[in-house]
Amino acid sequence: MAERSHASGQSEGGGGGGTASHTPSNSRAETAAHLRQLLETEGDAIHAHTSVSNLQRHEVFDETDDLEALRSEARAIKEDAIDRLPALIETVREAVEANGGTVYVAEDAADANAYVADVVDDRAATSTAAESASGRPSVVKSKSMTTEELDLNDALESEGIEVTETDLGEWVLQVADDTPSHIVGPAMHLTREEIAELFTEQFDPDEEFETAEELTRFARDHLGERIREADVGITGANFVVAESGTITLVTNEGNARKCAVTPDTHVAIAGVEKLIPSIRDLEPFVDLIAKSATGQEISQYVTMLSPPTESPTLTFDEPDEPIGANTDAETNGSTDREFHLVLLDNGRTEMRADDQLRETLYCIRCGACSNSCANFQAVGGHGFGGETYSGGIATGWEAGVHGQDSAAEFNDLCTGCTRCVDACPVKIDIPWINTVVRDRVNRDAEPEAYDFLVDGLTPDEESGGLDLGKRFFGNIGTVAKLGSATAPVSNWLGETAPVRSLLERTLGIDQRRELPSFERQPLVDWFDARGGEQESKRRAAAGRRAAHDEPTDALDREVVLYPDVYTNYVDTDRGKAAVRTLEALGVPVSVPDLPESGRAPLSQGMVTTADAQASKVYAALAEDLDAGRDVVVIEPSDLAAFQREYERFLPERSFERLRDNSYEICEFIFGLLENGANPAALSTAGGGGERIGTENGDDGQPIAYHSHCQQRTLDLEAPTVAVLERCGYAPRTSTVECCGMAGSFGYKREYYEVSMDVGDRLASELEPASTDLVVASGTSCGDQLETLLDRTVPHPVEVIAPDRGW
């Protein structure tokens, strides 16, 4: 079995704020080494499982007509339930007690564990269950992440209680003394071969284990015996219906059913956030949870028990007594069942009071955020996870239940790509939670460093606080401006070995990554030198005349092209292509010098800086918006800031105004073409407009297109595909959720290899023929693909622009 290092790589909590993120280069190297090992030992197995679940989720989501309504309904139920949580706790207490059970609200892990140990000891003393082999009190468990959070197994075992996990994945981990790598498939990092080897060594069978079938049969028999002997069955709960005291268990194996009803005592352990008001409220969750988790329409078993149930107890050491012999016939119910519902707080009340972390409590733990995350697919939960929880939402859970240090260990693996936003069945803004926690980690590192940043960056100034690399990337606009002003010297310098070494040591920029090359003349200056708005109006009018377009209202537009940092200083070609394309379609353009969107500081968790940028951008655009001009954006991540994060920074009316009047460049072009603009002026696959109108793309020229992650979340991949098709191409898109570059992520020394691993999968999926064009909408996607495919990867608008450069 491959050696595993994650145990030593995990936070042990505490540590006085010592996080990987703000310690110097040796810590970056340690993180890099830890992740490298996970890539090598667990990455392939994790990727195989998570990518399949993710694809199946996409399929079943696409097939579900009322998906959005279901997600909204589920979200609303959770919002309401968390809002009136204290009342629901009282409601469920009354319901469970009326049913004949007990409710215990545990303040923290120690409290919960002590209560459960007492219940087990009491029952074992009077139990009618078969004696376990050891004679010790025995417990069988079904899978429960909440009991992982409690470290319940260790706590019970230290009290002399025998604990057996009966979910096969959890049992494998128990045998291997390993920890879950995924909240739904806890052992998915282990291959069948590794499990077979482990079991053969551990259980010494007559013949070595080989197939999954053999392993499963063995596990079923072995665990079946444990279940029959157990004094107490412990389950978690996916949902708890307050009004009826109903525990809902969503499983595929059937072990939870057996654990709940075979022993005469059932303990269900659930976080308080699992409460929902009524049985009716359960429906959208039952409909969504399996779809989100594995892409199944519904799980094999949705068990809804209002214990103590009437189901007969099973006493296997009295084999010839009819089952249910202990049942009181007159009441038609079981008289000897005992039920305890342990509701766990462990930080949840504080999360509920925290406006930023509260959303975490809506989580139904389906793992969709893990499956949809390119970085998670690469390293799994032993890298992208804290003490208990893993994946995107884990930052919220870990910060809430184990503390910020546990979240800080892995929080930087969230690149804010937002692919989990579409995946989450309860619409949690998971990237935002990651941003907020990153911000808090930054602040805790050195509070005074933060104020300084708002004023601007001086990258060479030493600071003991906030990670220098984060400061650098968070202020990339200032850096780019400086780089452009001093180009080409800045570009030459940037490629020298001493400078690269310095950048790696101080800022954590990996030497293997090619740096962007700054243009001497920014796009804004090019546009001014070309004659500014007047010239653009002249060209647009000429374009319209050439196309013989009758100016209709729909086409009578004026565009403000947003000069994002990369388009303005690094990749001016795509900006020029956008200007030429819009003009050729009859639309005049202006390219004013506008403030940075705040995307860069957001990605580093510098929320206050981003907030200030949002106000500056809106102030600079307000007049244009009032004048009815459209804001067109090339870099999808900046558009995503306008359309998603700005909601948190701007007054509602301002946000809506900018959101409703801002467009991704190809989305805007598609709108023009749909409204009758004449595409004859554009460059097409056949050249000169000959093949325009190949709408189905069947006989178009092959082109590989990677849309940007945040663009996909805005539902804006389709317009680019449609525009390419109209220009005679047959676009092929990728299923890989993100390119792995993700702005600054791929530059960072500790994440370079993860970034390349994710990028490799994208490159091999696109697998372009040598003659195929490859295009990408995002700057970093393009950079990543240029490196991996060793060819030019332009923006789609560069391919369709008139007078294109190749």
Partner 1 sequence: MSTDTDTDAVGQLEHALEELEVSLERVSAADASERLAALLTEPAIGVKLPFEGVSIPESVTTEPTAATLADAQTGITPATFAIAEYGTVAIESRAAGDEPISVYPEHHIAVVAASDIVPDLTGGFDRLADRFAAGGDSIVFATGRSATADMGDLVHGVHGPGEVTVVVLEDR
CB-CB contact of 718 with 1 (8 Å): no
Contacts of 302 (CB under 8 A, 6+ apart): 248, 249, 250, 286
Distance CA 130, CA 139 (A): 12
Task: With contacts defined by CB under 8 A, name the span among 257-265, 371-379, 517-525, 691-699 that binds partner 1.
Answer: 257-265
Residue 244 touching partner 1 (CB under 8 A): yes
Specify the 3-state DSSP secondary structure of 763. Answer: helix
Which CB sits closer to partner 1, 230 or 785? Answer: 230
Residue 726 touching partner 1 (CB under 8 A): no
What is the DSSP-derived secondary structure letter of residue 456? -
∠ CA 564-565-568, nearest 5°, is 80
Using alpha carbons, list the distances in angstroms from residue 272 to 275, 354, 368, 392.
Answer: 6, 16, 22, 21
CB-CB contact of 69 with 784 (8 Å): no
Binders of partner 1 among residues 332 to 391 (CB under 8 A) are: 332-334
Distance CA 239, CA 241 (A): 6
Distance CA 154, CA 148 (A): 10
CB of 279 to partner 1, least distance (A): 5
CB of 150 to partner 1, least distance (A): 22
Candidate residues 172, 183, 578, 704; the one interacting with partner 1 per rule CB under 8 A: 172
CB of 130 to partner 1, least distance (A): 9
Residue 253 touching partner 1 (CB under 8 A): yes
Specify the 3-state DSSP secondary structure of 309. Answer: coil
CB of 568 to partner 1, least distance (A): 49
How many CB atoms are closer than 10 A to CB 727?
Answer: 27
Which CB sits closer to partner 1, 244 or 404? Answer: 244
Which CB sits closer to partner 1, 190 or 369? Answer: 190
Which CB sits closer to partner 1, 38 or 130? Answer: 130
Strand partners, 46: none
Binding string to partner 1 for residues 290 to 329, with x set by CB under 8 A, is what?
Answer: -------xxxxxxxxxxx-xxxx-xxx-xxxxxxx--x--
Candidate residues 40, 283, 593, 767; the one interacting with partner 1 per rule CB under 8 A: 283
**In whole angstroms, how large is the CA radius of gyration of the chain?**
29
Residue 219 touching partner 1 (CB under 8 A): yes
CB of 601 to partner 1, least distance (A): 42
Binders of partner 1 among residues 401 to 460 (CB under 8 A) are: none
What is the DSSP-derived secondary structure letter of residue 131? P
Distance CA 19, CA 399 (A): 13
Distance CA 572, CA 556 (A): 26
Task: With contacts defined by CB under 8 A, name the span among 76-84, 220-228, 267-275, 684-692 that binds partner 1.
Answer: 220-228
Distance CA 377, CA 762 (A): 12
At residue 296, φ and ψ (nearest 5 deg) are: -75, 150
- For 1-22, b/e burial (b = at least 16 CB within 10 A) is eeebebeebbbeeeeeeebbbb
CB of 800 to partner 1, least distance (A): 43
CB of 422 to partner 1, least distance (A): 22
Binders of partner 1 among residues 95 to 134 (CB under 8 A) are: none
Residue 233 touching partner 1 (CB under 8 A): no
Residue 223 touching partner 1 (CB under 8 A): yes
Which CB sits closer to partner 1, 263 or 396? Answer: 263
Contacts of 71 (CB under 8 A, 6+ apart): 288, 424, 425, 426, 427
CB-CB contact of 251 with 301 (8 Å): yes
Count of residues that interact with partner 1, criterion CB under 8 A: 70
CB of 71 to partner 1, least distance (A): 15
CB of 328 to partner 1, least distance (A): 9
CB-CB contact of 19 with 398 (8 Å): no
Candidate residues 49, 189, 365, 629; the one interacting with partner 1 per rule CB under 8 A: 49
Residue 626 touching partner 1 (CB under 8 A): no
Task: With contacts defined by CB under 8 A, name the span among 213-221, 580-588, 648-656, 781-789 that binds partner 1.
Answer: 213-221
Strands 239-241 and 265-271: unpaired
Candidate residues 169, 392, 469, 719; the one interacting with partner 1 per rule CB under 8 A: 169
Which CB sits closer to partner 1, 49 or 71? Answer: 49
CB-CB contact of 577 with 802 (8 Å): no
CB of 45 to partner 1, least distance (A): 9
Burial bucket for residue 459 (CB in 10 Å: 0-12, 13-18, 19+): middle
CB of 266 to partner 1, least distance (A): 11
Which CB sits closer to partner 1, 337 or 644? Answer: 337
Candidate residues 92, 187, 634, 742; the one interacting with partner 1 per rule CB under 8 A: 187
Residue 246 touching partner 1 (CB under 8 A): yes
Task: With contacts defined by CB under 8 A, name the span among 76-84, 209-217, 384-392, 723-731 that binds partner 1.
Answer: 209-217
Candidate residues 73, 148, 149, 167; the one interacting with partner 1 per rule CB under 8 A: 167
> Phi-psi bin for 171: left (phi > 0), alpha (psi -120 to 50), beta?
alpha
Which CB sits closer to partner 1, 252 or 511? Answer: 252
Distance CA 744, CA 691 (A): 39
Nearest alpha carbon to residue 152 among 274, 250, 230, 236? 236
Query: Under the rule (CB under 8 A), what is the footprint of partner 1?
Result: 49, 166-169, 172, 185, 187, 190-193, 195-196, 211-213, 215-216, 219-220, 223-224, 227-228, 244, 246, 252-255, 257-258, 261-262, 279-280, 282-283, 286-287, 297-307, 309-312, 314-316, 318-324, 327, 332-334
